[in-house]
């Protein structure tokens, strides 16, 4: 029977991790996501499922623990908020370079620097363009509800193992802190050693078996031609991801003259903005990217045949808008609107920005 | 006089290469301590029959490629992060024997937080700490353990402690941590030292088998290329200059 609860977005990340058979969580406190580790410590999953939960000495150590755990074929994760995610970038690029599966959660707050502790969406570039050094991408999931915070934990692990690639849940302080009704996932046991052997036995470092050569997890390649070959392998992997894993949702787009593009908490605000604008007779719809990498480029490009303009609504100085512009490729106007520094946009502000876009087009 | 073929037989065998060592030719400079430490590490793993249960974590530096030489599962960690990586491996695979292999720049400079906290938690791992007082791979720069007055490429007039601090005796610091079970300082410059160091390694790997917590083995080492000395002169220089600052022997356990 389905189990429902009223929970915070951060709390449900912890609950979903336990329920999907996560083997290890390694974290470091930072606002506004500390409830994730706090919930885990209260729940004591090590008694229930054997899951390891450890408060590391730093975000740097936490992400390197994720590296070590993932290299053993285990389902491991970490979470943090913007300044902490910056610290994790070294580990994340090593994880991407060693092709390890893992889950990272970023409950974004305003920046740059120490910034604010209020919600923002200003880590888009860092999340979808790489973040650390070298050519790589994360698969980026953007939940817009507490329910999706729950659902994307298991989805994230599935994608991570399917592609041997780190997956990032890009949330924000609104989704992390707000409470909503959530249908909890079914409880699944952690993988047995035999299952890990079946899933990741060709590469995981679980101790050298007599029937195989030894495994090495590394991102080092001293021969530049071989490194280039590996870079091409990654490019091919990202191509497959782009072909198969684009996820988005449309809201009242069928007859829309104008399209709002928004993810996460901004997409919730934009739903209301669509209602207000439609009541005033403006035919506007909403496209919500669920995966930010891969981005719904093709869908946005297709929408250009009908739409007269796009408005990218994000709590940043204008980051996703660049990807919308690339998708639109100059066919129609694309503008950006968003409050900054931890200030949450209101639906009426979005409608006003939309009015300006329409006026500009005339 | 006996023919060679008559001499080469099982009964006369005095030395055999460990089967845990691979056949790859080591990239280490002649005279470097890494090769000797790798060899005795391989022998200990073979003699304890734990090849299938051992997972190594290699560092950044010359021994980044340690995974080329020992026939065990390996993970290569970012600079300084090996203790954090090893922490997760040891906790998620508690029946495996996990070791981190680090140099002085890796362990005592960029990875100071990771080593102190892994040791303070008493992670059930062996840490092998190669201290040659220099950054070898990047071309002989000053390390946290570089001796006072010792010339390096970034302290060409000798280490000035007023400017850059004192040689960091991190092993003594780590010995203060209650969860650390065994701390020792060894070297591999003579056959007797090699035997002693091997015994220490054996004890450490046995101890993690019994889940006794962190085992910390410093090996005061030579880097003749970085020190710009011959292998023989390096050993002499190490005994004369390094040993007074980094004295040999067990510190704890």
Render pLDDT for B156-197 as a digit per residue (tens, 0 to 9): 999 999 999 999 999 999 999 999 999 999 999 999 999 999
Q: Match domain B27-135+160-247 to its CATH number in 3.40.50.970, 3.40.50.620, 2.60.40.3080, 3.40.50.1370.
A: 3.40.50.970
Task: Give the global pTM.
Answer: 0.97
Q: Is the ipTM of this complex over 0.90?
A: yes
Average the pLDDT over A182-195 and give the result: 98
Whether B12 has a pLDDT exceeding 90, the answer reads no
- Give the minimum alpha-carbon distance from A76 to chain B in angstroms, rounded to a whole number: 10
CB contact under 8 A, B75 and A60: no
CB contact under 8 A, A67 and B52: no
- Give me the helices (H) in A258-346, please: 264-279, 297-303, 320-328
pLDDT tens digits for range A132-185: 999 999 999 999 999 999 999 999 999 999 999 999 999 999 999 999 999 999
Amino acid A360: pLDDT:
85
**Chain B residue with Cα closest to A215:** B73
- Domain ranges in chain A are 3-193, 248-361
Report the b/e string of B222-243 with b at 16+ CB within 10 A: bbbbbbebeeeebbebbbebbe
Query: What three-state secondary structure class fits A148?
Result: helix
Q: Are A313 and A265 in contact (CB under 8 A)?
A: no
CB contact under 8 A, A216 and B75: yes
Average the pLDDT over A197-219 and give the result: 97
pLDDT tens digits for range A300-309: 999 999 999 9
Nearest neighbour of A23 by CB, restricted to B67, B87, B92? B92
Average the pLDDT over A76-89 and give the result: 98
pLDDT tens digits for range B99-137: 999 999 999 999 999 999 999 999 999 999 999 999 999
Which residues are A80's β-sheet partners? A106
- Is A248-361 in the same CATH topology as A3-193? yes
For residue B221, CA distances in Å to A170, B53, B136, B194 come to 46, 28, 11, 12
At a CB cut-off of 8 Å and minimum separation 6, what does A333 contact?
A308, A309, A310, A357, A360, A361
Average the pLDDT over B24-35 and give the result: 95
Name residue, tokens 């004192």.
Answer: B166
Amino acid B162: pLDDT:
98
Interface A–B counts its CB contacts (< 8 A) at 124
pLDDT tens digits for range A34-48: 999 999 999 999 999
Handedness of CA B23, B26, B30, B36 (dihedral sign): negative
Amino acid B145: pLDDT:
98
Q: Match domain A248-361 to its CATH number in 1.10.10.10, 1.10.10.60, 1.20.58.100, 3.40.50.920.
A: 3.40.50.920
pLDDT, chain B, mean: 96
The pair of three-digit structure tokens given for residue B34, joined into one six-digit string = 């890494």
Average the pLDDT over A268-280 and give the result: 98
Whether B1 has a pLDDT exceeding 70, the answer reads no
Whether A320 has a pLDDT exceeding 80, the answer reads yes
Amino acid B9: pLDDT:
84
Whether A361 has a pLDDT exceeding 80, the answer reads no
Q: Express as a percent the part of chain B with pLDDT over 70.
A: 100
Query: Rounded distance, CA B114 to CA B121, Å?
Result: 11
The CATH fold of domain A3-193: Rossmann fold (3.40.50)
- Give the minimum alpha-carbon distance from B46 to chain A in angstroms, rounded to a whole number: 13
Q: Express as a percent the part of chain A with pLDDT over 70.
A: 100
For residue A32, CA distances in Å to A87, A315, A331, A343, B174 come to 16, 16, 39, 15, 34
Whether A362 has a pLDDT exceeding 90, the answer reads no
**Chain B residue with Cα closest to A72:** B89
Helix (H) or strand (E) holding A17: helix A9-19
Our CA dihedral for A21, A24, A27, A31, rounded to 10 degrees, sits at 10
């Amino acid at each position: 029977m389905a189990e429902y609860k009223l929970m915070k977005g951060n709390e449900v990340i912890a609950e979903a991790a336990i329920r999907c058979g996560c083997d290890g969580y390694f974290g470091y406190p930072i606002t506004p996501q500390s409830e994730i580790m706090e919930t885990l410590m209260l729940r004591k999953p090590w008694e229930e499922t054997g899951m390891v939960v450890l408060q590391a000495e730093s975000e740097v150590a936490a992400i390197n623990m994720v590296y070590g755990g993932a290299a053993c074929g285990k389902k491991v994760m970490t979470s943090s908020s913007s300044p902490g995610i910056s610290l994790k970038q070294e580990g994340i690029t090593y994880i991407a370079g060693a092709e390890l599966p893992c889950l990272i959660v970023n409950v974004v707050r305003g920046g740059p620097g120490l910034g604010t502790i209020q919600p923002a969406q200003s880590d888009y570039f860092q999340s979808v363009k790489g973040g650390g050094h070298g050519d790589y991408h994360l698969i980026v999931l953007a939940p817009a509800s507490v329910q999706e915070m729950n659902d994307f934990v298991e989805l994230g692990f599935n994608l991570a193992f399917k592609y041997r690639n780190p997956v990032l849940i890009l949330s924000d302080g609104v989704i992390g802190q707000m409470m909503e009704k959530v249908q909890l996932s079914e409880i699944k046991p952690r993988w047995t050693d035999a299952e890990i052997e079946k899933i990741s036995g060709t590469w995981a470092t679980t101790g050298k078996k007599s029937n195989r050569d030894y495994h090495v997890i590394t991102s080092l390649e001293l021969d530049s031609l071989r490194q280039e070959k590996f870079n091409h392998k990654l490019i091919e992997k990202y191509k497959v991801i782009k072909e198969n894993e684009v996820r988005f949702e449309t809201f009242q787009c069928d007859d829309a003259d104008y399209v709002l593009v928004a993810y996460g908490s901004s997409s919730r605000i934009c739903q209301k903005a669509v209602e207000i604008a439609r009541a005033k007779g403006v035919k506007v719809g909403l496209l919500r990217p669920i995966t930010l990498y891969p981005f719904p480029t093709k869908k946005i490009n297709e929408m250009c045949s009908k739409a007269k303009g796009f408005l990218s609504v994000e709590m940043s100085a204008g980051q996703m808008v660049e990807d919308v512009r690339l998708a639109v490729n100059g066919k129609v106007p694309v503008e950006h609107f968003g409050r900054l520094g931890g200030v949450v946009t209101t639906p009426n502000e979005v409608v006003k920005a939309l009015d300006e876009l329409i006026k500009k087009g005339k | 006089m006996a023919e060679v073929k008559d001499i080469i037989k099982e009964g006369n065998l005095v030395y055999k290469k460990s089967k845990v060592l691979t056949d790859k030719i080591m990239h280490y400079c002649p005279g470097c301590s890494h090769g000797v430490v790798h060899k005795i590490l391989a022998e200990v793993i073979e003699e304890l029959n734990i090849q299938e249960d051992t997972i190594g974590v290699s560092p950044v530096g010359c021994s980044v490629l340690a995974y080329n030489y020992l026939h065990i599962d390996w993970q290569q960690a970012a600079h300084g992060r090996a203790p954090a990586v090893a922490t997760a491996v040891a906790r998620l695979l508690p029946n495996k024997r996990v070791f981190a292999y680090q140099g002085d720049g890796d362990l005592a400079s960029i990875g100071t937080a990771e080593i102190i906290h892994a040791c303070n938690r008493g992670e059930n791992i062996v840490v092998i700490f190669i201290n040659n007082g220099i950054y070898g791979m990047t071309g002989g720069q000053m390390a946290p353990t570089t001796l006072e007055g010792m010339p390096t490429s970034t302290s060409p007039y000798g280490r000035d402690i007023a400017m850059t601090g004192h040689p960091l005796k991190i092993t003594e610091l780590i010995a203060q941590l209650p969860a650390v079970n065994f701390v020792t300082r060894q070297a591999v410059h003579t056959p007797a030292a090699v035997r002693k160091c091997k015994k220490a390694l054996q004890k450490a790997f046995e101890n993690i088998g019994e889940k006794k917590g962190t085992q910390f083995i410093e090996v005061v080492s030579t880097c003749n290329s970085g020190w710009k000395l011959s292998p023989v002169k390096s050993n002499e220089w190490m005994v004369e200059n390094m040993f007074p600052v980094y004295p040999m022997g067990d510190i704890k356990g």
